[in-house]
Amino acid sequence: MLKEALAYRRRNWSLIPMMMDTKRPAQRWKPFQSRQAHENTIRRWFGNGSNFGIGVVFGAVSGGLASRDFDTIASYGLWAAEHPDLAETLMTVETRRGRHVYCQAAPGSLHAVRQALGKVGGTGAIAVEDGELRADVGCYSVLPPSKHPSGFVYRWIQPPGDGSLPTIDLLDAGFVSLTHATERTEVYGDDRGQQRLPKITDAIDECSIESAIARALPTGPGQRHRQVFKLARALKAIPALVDADPRDLKPLVRQWHKAALPFITTSAFEETWIDFLKAWPNVRFPLGSDSMAELLAKVLQMDPPEVARQYEQAELRLLVSLCRELQRAAGEGPFYLACRTAGRWLDVDHSTANRWLFLLVRDGVLAEVSKGGPQTKKASRYRFLVDDGQS
């Protein structure tokens, strides 16, 4: 922590100690809005095993430092898709829910922002629709490697370089939308003809929509298909959308696609839309539901698939049924299953469950897509291979 704090100080940033259980300064911080702490003070704050997090004060005292705080990964993704050059070059911190993007504010650009928003003469952070713009001495933020009260550790995903920060016009960078209150509509064409589709979130908590999209965003290439299915599950978890016509959800799917573009290789929206239309009717467990308990209760009431009848042990036949339902819940993608989890379900030890999963793979009932374990900290992923003709 001390090493990082000293590196930040060498960047000419004004630092303050943070009590991370409350995310508040650990002492009076007004003096450090106009002057930087001495190096000896930095060493006292962050050395000797201190539990303080590192805070930075924005504005002139830190050389014009500014930051755009995106509350969700979805809102960051939308911005990054519109400003890919900036997203690739500006220092960026991964937060528990979103991203912090850092730059040096161009002279006069903060005043231009306040003027455009009708907030001339104000100080501190500027609240926007999906976070905050911090570019004034009256506000601060937390820097890596501070630890959030939840246990999440802030980290750089676009780390500081050796040189000075890029000087950016805050308006040109798209950090503040001057039309964010304008209601958005979507034009679509299908068997109901060309018409205007009202914003689907009119009767739904906007935070629920943003949360559903954020929870389903990919983190890299090769995840689009699986994460579209997760998006369908996340939207199904919103009570008002459970029985929605998927065509009415097209604006939300387009919003997800736009936010996901920095992380996926498929740029055509139509491919994402096709995957969603296929996924929506196949969602059996909304995201966040007690799906495993529900699945087990359901399987116990079902006849096992024909392929399970080759096995003598009732618990093994039950495992085959469980795998079939896990595959149905996962749609066309693979499903996760750890041998310890399977053992708890079947009331057998995990070694026995592991042997049975091995057997199902060798018998062609399952395919092991990826192997989990303590090293990966993930469960193994399987695909159920037998089509028993049941939908």
Contacts 24+ apart (CB under 8 A), 350-355: 353/319
**pLDDT of the residue at 294:** 62
Q: To the nearest 10°, the Cα dihedral for 344, 350, 355, 361?
A: 60
Tens-digit pLDDT profile for residues 154-168:
999 988 887 788 999
Tens-digit pLDDT profile for residues 185-222:
222 233 333 333 334 444 344 556 777 888 888 877 77
CB 103 within 8 Å of CB 158: no
% of the chain at pLDDT higher than 70: 84
Tens-digit pLDDT profile for residues 261-288:
888 876 788 999 999 999 888 776 677 6
Under 8 Å CB-to-CB from 227, ≥6 apart: which residues? 216, 217, 218, 260
CB 331 within 8 Å of CB 236: no
- Residue 126, CA distances (Å) to 42, 160, 273, 324 in order: 28, 24, 36, 51
**228 vs 278: CA distance, rounded Å:** 10
Counting every residue, how long is the chain? Answer: 391
Tens-digit pLDDT profile for residues 235-266:
887 766 777 788 888 888 998 988 888 888 76
**328 vs 116: CA distance, rounded Å:** 52
Q: Where are the alpha helices (DSSP H) in the chain?
A: 2-10, 39-46, 73-82, 84-89, 109-117, 206-215, 224-236, 250-260, 269-279, 291-300, 314-330, 339-346, 350-362
Tens-digit pLDDT profile for residues 170-185:
988 888 865 432 222 2
- Sole residue written with tokens 């936010």: 259
Tens-digit pLDDT profile for residues 24-64:
888 888 899 999 999 999 999 998 778 899 999 999 999 99
CB 294 within 8 Å of CB 325: no
Residue 143's pLDDT band, with cuts at 50, 70 and 90, is very high
**pLDDT of the residue at 239:** 65
Q: To the nearest 10°, the Cα dihedral for 269, 237, 210, 84?
A: -30
- Phi/psi for 47 (5° steps) reads -95, 180
Angle between helices 291-300 and 314-330 (to 10 degrees): 130
**pLDDT of the residue at 49:** 77
Statement: the pTM of the whole predicted model exceeds 0.75 = no
CB 305 within 8 Å of CB 386: yes
| DSSP conformation letters of 280-293 | GGG--S-TTS-HHH
- Domains of the chain and CATH, by start: 2-168 (no CATH), 196-282 (no CATH), 291-384 (1.10.10)
Q: Per residue in 370-391, is it b (16+ CB within 10 Å) or e — as a string?
A: eebeeeeeebbbbbbebeeeee
